[in-house]
Amino acid sequence: MPPELLHLSAVIRSPLVDPQGERIGRIDDLIVRLDGKPHPPITGLVARVAGRELFLPIERIAAMRPRLVQLTGKTLDLGRFERRPGELLLARDLQARHLIHVVGAHLIRANEIELAETDGVWQVVGVDPSGRGVLRRLLPPPLARRVRTKSRVDWEAIEPFVAHVPTARMRIPLRKLSRLRAAQIADLVEAASHEEGEEIIEAVSLDRELEADVFEELDPDHQREFLESRSDAEAARVLATMAPDDAADLINDLDQDRRRAVLELLPPRQQAKVRRLLSYNPETGGGLMNPDFLLLPGATRADAALEAIRRSDVAPEALATVYTSDADGRISGTVSVVRLLKASPQARLSSIAERDPVTVRADADVHSILRKMSDFNLSTAPVVDDDHRMLGVITVDDLLELLLPTGWRRDFGMTATEE
């Protein structure tokens, strides 16, 4: 049988009584320490006695029921309560604030916090994000007890924001955020306040690759917002791990006086790619393309091509197709990874490639590129120069990012906050 739930609102401002049942004060808050456990234990209470805030260790609590907390023992330490590093106050720090629902990948509000005693240990077991939690806090106790929980989220699926806590000295554990995809984390950042978004970005910065992926998924306004709050060196660190075309877009969005400084802090190889992309109009083939692709001589064997794919650091979406070149280095064909896998290991790429590939020019505008990719059902399109040598690759997602309106995810409810 599951333990009986106790709502935080039924404990806050409850009378604090001694072992004989005499009132000696009231409960102001409950203290927890987030230590990675699925249900964090309550370590103590904050009580107001004779106008002073006192700390009560949980071991001093004989009973905790709706509208009543009873002490054990005769003496009481009258030293004032002082928050220690890592401690969270449930009412002051978490109740009615945003939390991250990791499983649902959205923000919820902790309108009510649920407690339970399991094997003699009081724990935080869940939150109620519905309006019923608000009602329970606002109604008189007799009526509040009649409001039942209908929308409960287990605490194991929750990440709290702690940057606003004076002595928290904690980050959001990456072990929970890393369950989400970069696009889901970006949605959370866009739905959160600036302070909350900064905390999420700080958490994912522990994984440089994930941080870059999240930045790539943010809408332009949030990308600018977060880069503007960072030093040139910090901005360059993020851009260095991003795809060159995405890094070029972000540098274009920086203030004119910062572009050169940030660009010059990039690693030489990334800097060269970004400089080349910045020389094109952003809404042309050259401005849209990613300069990273896999181009192999037509004489390359299928097994060697597959090994080249394994070793390549090109983005996966651009590796779905391998491009072949003729003796003069011009693009001569395309081979899908599926066709490579089905081919004999000894087969030459020239024998299995689709000849005369559809290409776009570097100066082609976005509408002509869109028409061509749609007409020929292309997921990627090679960009070539006047000599038919490859310059880069445009993927479908490059076009979608440009054509979809800013904030489209919020408009379609993908970053909605559950209240």
Q: State yes or no: pLDDT of 411 exceeds 60.
A: no
| 174-284 classified as CATH 1.25.60.10 | yes
Going by pLDDT thresholds of 50, 70 and 90, the confidence category of residue 207 is confident
The residues of the chain that CATH labels 3.10.580.10 are: 295-400
Specify whether the CB–CB gap between 243 and 270 falls below 8 A: no
Rounded Cα–Cα distance for residues 322 and 312 (Å): 11
Average of per-residue pLDDT values in the chain: 87
| Fold that domain 295-400 belongs to in CATH | CBS-domain (3.10.580)
| Assigned token pair, 402 | 């440009």
Residue 24's φ and ψ, nearest 5 degrees, are -125, -5
The token pair at 169 is 């000295």
Residue 252: per-residue pLDDT: 87
> What is the predicted pLDDT for the residue at 38?
86
Domain with CATH 2.30.30.240 in the chain: 6-139
Quick one: which of 39, 36, 17, 37 has its CA closest to 26? 17
Among 215-229, 238-252, 339-353, the range of highest mean pLDDT = 339-353
Residue 169, amino acid: R
The average pLDDT across 392-403 equals 83
CATH superfamily of domain region 6-139: PRC-barrel domain (2.30.30.240)
Indicate if the pLDDT at residue 168 is higher than 90. no
Angle at 410 between CA 404 and CA 414, to 5 degrees: 100
Residue 146: the pLDDT is 64
Start-end of CATH 1.25.60.10 domains in the chain: 174-284
- At 312, is the pLDDT very low, low, confident or very high (cuts 50, 70, 90)? very high
Q: Tell whether the torsion through CA atoms of 126, 128, 134 and 139 is positive or negative.
A: negative
pLDDT at position 376 over 60: yes
Q: What is the pLDDT of residues 326-362, one digit of tens each?
A: 999 999 999 999 999 999 999 999 999 999 999 999 9
Greatest mean pLDDT among 134-148, 232-246, 338-352: 338-352
**Mean pLDDT confidence for 45-55:** 90
